[in-house]
Structure 1
Amino acid sequence: MGEHYFAAKPGAAGRPRTIDLVLPDLHLRLNTDSGVFSPDRVDLGTRILLETVPPPPPEGTLLDLGCGYGPIALTMATRAPQAAVVGVDVNERALDLARSNAQTAGLDNVRFGLAEEIDPAQRYAAIWSNPPIRIGKAALHDLLLTWLPRLAPGGRAHLVVQKHLGSDSLQRWLNDQGFPTQRTASRSAYRILAVSARPEQQTTHQEGPTR
């Protein structure tokens, strides 16, 4: 069931299916299954994000936070073939699907894993995310405070959040936490939030973690 997409091991019986992500610059055929986020179609918020964000940095490491079966990460990997893309999720079924989808697409510049499998010292030139709002406000805030400080100097995150699920309050909270945040697009009650690194991150050496 959809409400269990943020479980590590979904209990829903498997029902594999294939969907298509068609954008002006790419066409990806994606395998999905029950127990993952938006298994029947690419989520509208994800589509709006992919249709409105600026091109990803051509080099460096890029992050898809809450990658699901991989539409955002695979789009980043397609648009920035010289970059290294990382997709992170808690759902092991979704991660298996994402790896399979990357192989099907012939993309070898992307890898997927659990948060604990990712080097915490890695810094990201960009983060794109359709964040898991339904995990609850406290858990969402913890998630963002874990990953946004890993933006490299000059890096930006782009988040898509539905207005009725708190996009405006999230924007205020991010600003309060020291991450300059602007709304850059709005469509079908979804907001695209562009989040810059904190000022102190702008002078942090890219090779290592903040001390």
Structure 2
Amino acid sequence: MDDNMKITFTWVLSRDRPKGKEVVRNTWIVDEPNLPERTDVQKVLNGSLNSFTINNVYPRFFRVTGSGDIRLLELENNSVSGNLVMNHANYEWWSFHDTTAFKGCGGVAGPTAIVVSEETPPTGILGDTLSKFSIWGLYITFVLAVGRFIRLQCSDLRMRIPYENLPSCDRLLAICEDIYAARAEDELGVEEVLYWTLVKIYRSPHMLLEYTKAD
């Protein structure tokens, strides 16, 4: 017993939901001031004593979130102390007796804790989605998706207005039809002239306005 002594206490909680986080585990390390006396531990191991006391082993109240995290509740007297007992029979085993147990626990002396588990969504496609991403995550994803869609619809809108809100496109459509007709008649020279005329109109806002005036 000359080496440093360390005592850890682990809770393993299992639940049906949420999917993928059915098992929650957390470990507490007993602070050095709350460790038992080395002589008492040595006596228990030698068989001359059957138990030793550990103070503030783990918190009695804690909350398990939907994401699987364990958070302590800020309450007074939230620590459990007890005796670690070495039992002797056909084989040896350790048992923990809670010396600070509540009267409402029905005289249970073993390790006890009061766990507040967050409400999780029901089973199904929607429930599985909410359990994986949480309501906030689903909400943020929805808002970002809608925002991106609106942004794509409104981006560079000022650049598209001159071409989308034209008063009359009859003359432009006539030029396009002439281009198709020239191509059909294999008049490539005429097609090229009409094509560059159309490009010139679109490049010049003034010409575009002139060609799209309402009659």
Structure with the higher strand share, 1 or 2: 1
TM-score between both structures, scaled by the size of structure 2: 0.22
The structure with the largest alpha-carbon Rg is 2
Structure showing greater relative contact order (alpha-carbon pairs closer than 8 Å, 6 or more residues apart): 1
